[in-house]
Amino acid sequence: MQPRDLSATSPYVPGRGIEEVARDLGLDPAALIKLSSNENPHGSSPKAVDAVHQQADDGLHVYPKAAHTDLTEKLAAKWGVADEQIWVTPGADGAIDYLSRAMLEPGQSVLVPSPGFSYYSMSARHHHGEVSEYDLSKADGFEQTAEMALDAYDGERIIHVTSPHNPAGTEWARSEIRTLLEAVDDQTLVVVDEAYGEYSERPSSIGLLDEFDNLAVMRTFSKAYGLAGLRIGYAAIPESWADAYARVNTPFAANEVACRAALAALDDDAHIEQSVESAQWAREYMQQELDAPTFESAANFVLADVGDASRVAEESQRAGVIIRDCSSFGLPGCVRISCGTREQTKTAVETLNGILAEVTPA
């Protein structure tokens, strides 16, 4: 037997890891700098690491009921919403799946940005939905507006918007989010992905939940909090349909260790401040010093137009700096460079400038 026809679903292509590149190229892993997956170069919150060790000592044999409740309450208090409005999930990907389960009937459509995070489409198709796209223009600097989404809108059940956007780094203004929410049908859910929200200076769309019951906002602990390996995230949703969570949630999907680490990370203001300030410095440094056009970014990465992304990324790997070839996003001329530490970022820029001098026509 065979699984159902999955030919319409393209697999997610992650950034290459240190071990993978080191093995393929015969390099020493310790000599490589990984700037391909938008991870926190400062690691996890020390408080979160302590919480992981403590939970391991206390035992991993219990289901995460209390930890899940505690994290829900803490997140609700942080954002000034009711506990029922927080859906704790296994990463932001889990939030996408839960919202697809809650909203999509077979054959209904979702509207997604192109380029954009491929899992929006994957989740819709996993739940027997259809996918339409609205285009972000490279020529316009990947500007994001309600008009561009509405031009492609045809009554889809879900519209995904990303702020800051991956891989471009651009943002939605709150006024544009409001315009979109007011313009779509009552039965269309607007999902705002704020996975990189901690790096942005704009207010979260969670602040609009009191006004709109067709809005959901996703966040994650993978980026600024440095907990990517634990897969913990959440969605903030309208109180009017909060009870759907119990019907779509996978039992105990957010594990005990992840919940405890997230609880501790929320209290580590110093780690968040360091992570955000470091990313701001790295973005500015790359935009000023890289010998290639870059796009304005509010996230922990910069998108650069290098002409031949595959070649530049390959040469960069051989030189010890792993970056993201954005061909899988439909941007064969662009690479995405995650913000590293100051030393890592300077090394990356020096390495890439040397490569660009060789591969870019005079």
Distance CA 46, CA 302 (A): 27
What is the CATH T-level fold of the domain 47-265, as seen in this structure? Aspartate Aminotransferase; domain 2 (3.40.640)
pLDDT in tens, 176-220: 999 999 999 999 999 999 999 999 999 999 999 999 999 999 999
Helix and strand counts by DSSP (H, E) for the chain: 12, 12
Residue ranges covered by each domain of the chain:
18-44+269-359, 47-265
Return the pLDDT at 36. 95
Entry pTM: 0.94
Distance CA 336, CA 326 (A): 7
Distance CA 341, CA 33 (A): 10
Low-confidence ranges of the chain (pLDDT < 50): none
Residue 249 CB: number of other CB atoms within 10 A?
Answer: 18
Q: State in words which class domain 18-44+269-359 has.
A: alpha beta
pLDDT in tens, 221-251: 999 999 999 999 999 999 999 999 989 998 8
Return the pLDDT at 360. 65
The answer to whether the 18-44+269-359 and 47-265 domains have the same CATH topology is no
